[in-house]
Amino acid sequence: MTATSFIGYSRGVHNGPLSHATNPATGEVMEPGFASPSADEVESAVQLAAAAFPAYRQLTAATRADFMRTIASEIETSIDAIWTRGTAETGLPEARLRGETARTVGQLRLFAAMLDDGSWLDARIEHAQPDRTPLPKPDLRSMLRPVGPVVVFCASNFPMAYSVAGGDTASALATGCPVIVKAHSSHPGVAEIVAAAVIRAAQQCGMPEGVFSLLYGSGRDVGMTLVKHPQIKAVGFTGSRAGGRALMDAAAARPEPIPVYAEMSSINPVVMLPEILAEKAPALAEGFFQSLTMGVGQFCTNPGLLFLPEGSESAFLEKLTSLIHDAAPGVMLNAGICQAYLDATNATVAHEGVEKIASEKIPAPGQGAPVVFRCNAATFLQNPTLTHEMFGPASLIVTGTWEQITAAANSLEGQLTASLHGTTNDLAAAAALMEILERKAGRIVFNGFPTGVDVSHSMVHGGPYPSTSDGRSTSVGTMAAYRFCRPVAWQNAPQEQLPDELKDANPLRIARMIDGKRCDP
C-alpha cells in the first residue's frame, strides 16, 4: 500500500502525521501508517473537483452510467484484498465483508440503471399559451441539475456500503457531482483498495481528473477544512450526533451555507401488541434477539427500545433472558466504539427504576456483550436521557399500559425506523399509535425487525432529526440522488439551447410531465 491520499489521479506524499489502523480483535497496531495530506494537497483536491465539475455535469447519463458500472466491476476484482485487509481492520467476518461488498457494487449498478431510465430527473414541460388571459403563459421547462463538488465522510461501521464508494458517493457521482471522500481512521487500508478501484474506473472511462479524490487525516482538521471550503456544495455523513452537529454548524456558518445530509442517531423503537405476544412470544423473542445482536449491535437500525404491554410480557421476557444469558460477546469495530458502548450501558443502568434483566458474559477488552434493561413507562417518561442511543447490542424494554406506551412513543425524537408486531386485530386497535410512529420515523416495519436495509427505489433510510439532519431525504436507494441536485427552469428557451431531456423531440426517450400529465416516451 502507498498509504497516501488520492489527489485526483496523483498520490499524496508522506509529509504529514501518520495514523495506523488497529486490529480490534488483537489490539495490534497495523502497518503501514497513513499520511495526512498537507493543506496544499487538500486545496488541490478541491480545486481539481471544482475544475472537473463543468465537464462532468455535462456528460451524458449513459456515460455516467458506464462509469458507475465500471467502478462496480473494478471493486469486484479487489474483493479478496478487501476482505483480507478488512477483517483485520474491523474485526468483521469475511462473510459480512463479502456481503457488504456485494451491496456496494449492487447499489452502484442500481444508480446506473436509474441513469438509463432518466425519469429521476423529473423533466417537466409546459407549453406557452400566448393567448391566455389576463396574462400570457411563457414556455417553461424544468429538470434537476447537480449542485457541485460533494464531500463524503466514511462511516466507521460500514467500511464498504457507507464509505469510499458507498451510497453517498454513488448517488453524488450519478447526479453529476465530483466527490471528495474523507477516509475513516478505522479502515484506511480498505479505503485505499476501493479508492484505487474508483480511480482505475475513472481513467478507463475518460473521466475528468478530480471527479474523485480520497483524503486521509483527521475529521476535525481535513474534514472541517473541506466542509468550510467555498467550492464544496454539499456533504454526506454517517456517524455520531456530535460529529454530525459539528458539520451542520460549520456548514451553516459559511458565507454560503450548504446542506449537510447527516445520518446520526436512532434507537428504532419496536412495539409488540398483546394478541401477537400471546400467540408467538418465543418466536418474537428469538427474532428480537437476532436483530439486537446482529453485527454486535453496530447497525444504525439496531432495535434499542422495545415497548411491551404490561401483563403480556412474561413469556417473551423469559425467552429473551435465556437467549441473552447464553450469548457470547463479540469484537466491536474499534476501541472508541467499545468504550462508548460500555459508558452508555453503565449510564442506563445507573438510572433509578432501571434494572438489568438479562445477565451477559463478561467481555474481553475490545468486545461488547449483549445486555437488556427494563423500566416502566413512568420512569421512561420522566427520564429523557433513557432515549439516548447505546450503540451496540443493548436495548431498553419499557412496559406499561396502552395509554402509557402511546404517550412514550409520542415523546420520542425522530427515528430511522419504527416497528410494529401485531395480529390483524392488534393493528386495527393501534391506529393512533401508527399515526404517531409515521410522524416519528422514516420507515415503518410491520411484523419484522429493522435491521437490514434493502437497496431499492422505494427505500427510505432517513427520518426526522436527530436520526438525520434532514428528514426529507434518504441515504439509501435511488431517492438519495435528490440530495445532490437542485431544480432549474428554462423559460422561452430556443430548442437548440435546451438540454436533450427537455427538447420537444425527446431524443433520450425518457418519461416526462407535459402540460401537467405524465407522458411515457
- Residues involved in catalysis: 263, 300
> Distance between CA 281 and CA 320 in Å, rounded?
9
DSSP per residue over 447-494, as a string? SS-S-----SSS-----STTSBS-TT--SSSGGGGGGGEEEEEEES--
> Distance between CA 285 and CA 321 in Å, rounded?
9
CA count, 13 A, side-chain hemisphere, 199: 19
- Joined grid coordinates for residue 18: 501518520
Length of the chain: 521
> Distance between CA 257 and CA 419 in Å, rounded?
35
Q: Which 3 state secondary structure label does DSSP give 117?
A: helix
> Distance between CA 352 and CA 338 in Å, rounded?
24
In the 8-state DSSP scheme, what is residue 133? S
CA count, 13 A, side-chain hemisphere, 63: 14
> Distance between CA 95 and CA 80 in Å, rounded?
12
* Structural contact between residues 389 and 342, judged by C-beta atoms closer than 8 angstroms: no
> Distance between CA 229 and CA 250 in Å, rounded?
10
> Distance between CA 395 and CA 341 in Å, rounded?
12
- Joined grid coordinates for residue 285: 423473542
Of the candidates 1, 181, 179, the one whose C-alpha atom is nearest the C-alpha of residue 78 is 1
From its phi and psi, is residue 380 left (phi > 0), alpha (psi between -120 and 50) or beta? alpha
DSSP per residue over 313-332, as a string? -HHHHHHHHHHHHHPPPEE-
- Joined grid coordinates for residue 279: 400467540
* Structural contact between residues 177 and 53, judged by C-beta atoms closer than 8 angstroms: yes
Instruction: Give me the residues paired with residue 214 across strands.
Output: 6, 181
> Distance between CA 487 and CA 120 in Å, rounded?
12
* Structural contact between residues 223 and 137, judged by C-beta atoms closer than 8 angstroms: no
In the 8-state DSSP scheme, what is residue 173? H
> Distance between CA 229 and CA 181 in Å, rounded?
14
Whose cell is 410522524? That residue is: 439
In the 8-state DSSP scheme, what is residue 184? -
> Distance between CA 495 and CA 502 in Å, rounded?
9
